[in-house]
Amino acid sequence: MLLDRIWYTPHHPLSYLLRPLSILFAGIGAARRALFTLGLKQSVRLPVPVIVVGNITVGGTGKTPLTIYLAQSLLVQGFSPGIISRGYGGKTLVPLAVSKDSDPAQSGDEPILLARATGVPVYVFADRAAAGAALLAAHPEVNILLCDDGLQHYRLQRDLELCVVDGARGYGNGALLPAGPLREPVSRLKTVDAVVVNGAERLPGQAECFQMSLLPGEFYSLTGAARQSWQGKRLAAVCGIGHPQRFFNTLTALGLEFTEHAFADHHQFSQQDLPDADIILVTEKDAVKLAGLSDVRIWALPISASLTPDLAGWLGQKMNMLSTR
């Protein structure tokens, strides 16, 4: 895709042409943050601790599997977490409760995956503070909120910030939007509570830094079919995620041979998008939308996050400290 080529190709000429717009973007972003910092724009403090999971780049870095990991870890430690999200791609005009059977056209695809994987309450709305208030009103037992992709949503006050960095692609050309992939300058990492690097070594000089690996599980059929041998079958990999190559690399590491079919992030799939193949391999995120096609050829690959050092233990200590304030 053109933007990826501009952002991740060193010294791409179009990137330099866009630099003046990046300067404007930086100024607008800094002014907006200052308005919240100075109290000239109102921010909202919810009555329970809020953990924000986000990134400083556009595109997939691994926020969703990390949010699932955090919710599951908090449950094991006796907390009652809830999840709030923007619900990118959804059309809801009010805070919306998301279940495993929700319509992705209303809620977006990732919140449904979060609801299915964790079983905790999930609410979506562009105003995350309003989504959090609605979730807490409906689920008073919730005592911690995870905010998926809310690092730049300064209207919502937060107690902890976790920033996910793509270890493979890094910060691209290091420029802010639209010349580069950065939503905020790299210096923003100095102000977050922890950095999680997906797929590479921890960052030097970062006080709290964790390495995340995404581990593939067992393929499952979207129609409930039992898996049989794929030997001699024509395989195709289809995905509409922020970093398609990560999915393709995972399949290659599993020893599979396939054709690649990448679509834009959050693509709304139709039957016409599916290639001529015996077996179609997809991500769980894309499976949310593809399930409605009832195509027996589609198999989804679940993934789970593994963190080193022990992020779950670190988070539990932080939450216990917050509860004693």
* Range list of H helices, 39-198: 63-76, 104-107, 109-118, 128-138
Q: What are phi and psi of 176, to 5 degrees?
A: -75, 160
61 among annotated binding-site residues? yes
3-state secondary structure of 128: helix
63 annotated binding-site participant: yes
For 141, the 3-state DSSP assignment is coil
Size (the chain), residues: 325
Judge whether 322 and 49 are in contact, CB under 8 Å: yes
Q: What is the DSSP string of 67-100?
A: HHHHHHHHHHTT--EEEEE--TT---SS-EEE-T
Write the DSSP symbol of residue 62: S
87 annotated as belonging to a binding site for a ligand:
no
59 is in an annotated binding site: yes
User: Measuring CA to CA, which residue among 163, 148, 165, 168 is closest to residue 248?
Assistant: 168
Helix 311-323, helix 63-76: angle, nearest 10: 60
Task: Please tell me whether 118 is known to bind a ligand.
Answer: no
DSSP letter at 190 equals G
Q: Which residue has the tokens 């690097």?
A: 197
Detail the residues annotated as belonging to a binding site.
57-64
Q: List residues forming the annotated binding site for ATP.
A: 57-64
